[in-house]
Amino acid sequence: MLKHNCFKILALSLPLLFIPASVMAENSVLMSGKSLFDKYCSTCHGVKGSGSKQGPPLVHKIYRPDHHADISFQFAAKKGVRSHHWEFGNMPKVNGVNEDDVDKIIKYIRGLQKEAGIY
């Protein structure tokens, strides 16, 4: 019985050995982006970028890459941004994040936008 279970575990584990490193790295970036988003952004922009009473949804057609390029997210986090699409007021700069953090947050948001069919 023990021998049979060992083969079963090995058989179930083998596919994990063949996951490309690039896929594993991308998943790591997405998880890191989610964690950073949850820490720095979700209070205003809601769970999974769905918006809240304090800030707009980022999973919205207004924030498509062809309207708000990734650099606009970098600028907003670094400098803050004047309100121009919504009635939530100006966004303050985000203390505690660096460009690499924001890049990970952007990848997370872009992934959510793609899942939602926004682009």
Domain ranges (residues) in the chain: 46-119
Among all chains, which residue has been given the structure tokens 């670094």? 78
- pLDDT (0 to 100) of residue 21: 61
7/10 Cα distance (integer angstroms): 5
Evaluate whether 45 touches 103 at the Cβ level (below 8 Å): no
**Per 3-state DSSP, what percentage of the chain is helix, strand, and coil (rounded to 5)?**
60, 0, 35
- pLDDT (0 to 100) of residue 28: 72
The pLDDT of residue 2 is above 80? no
- pLDDT (0 to 100) of residue 96: 96
Task: Look at 53 and 20; give whichever has higher pLDDT.
Answer: 53
- pLDDT (0 to 100) of residue 15: 61
Structure tokens at 46: 């809601």
- pLDDT (0 to 100) of residue 18: 61
pLDDT digits (tens, 9 = 90+) for 5-52: 655 655 565 565 565 665 555 667 678 999 999 999 999 999 999 999
Which stretch of DSSP H or E encloses residue 10?
helix 2-17
pTM of the model: 0.78
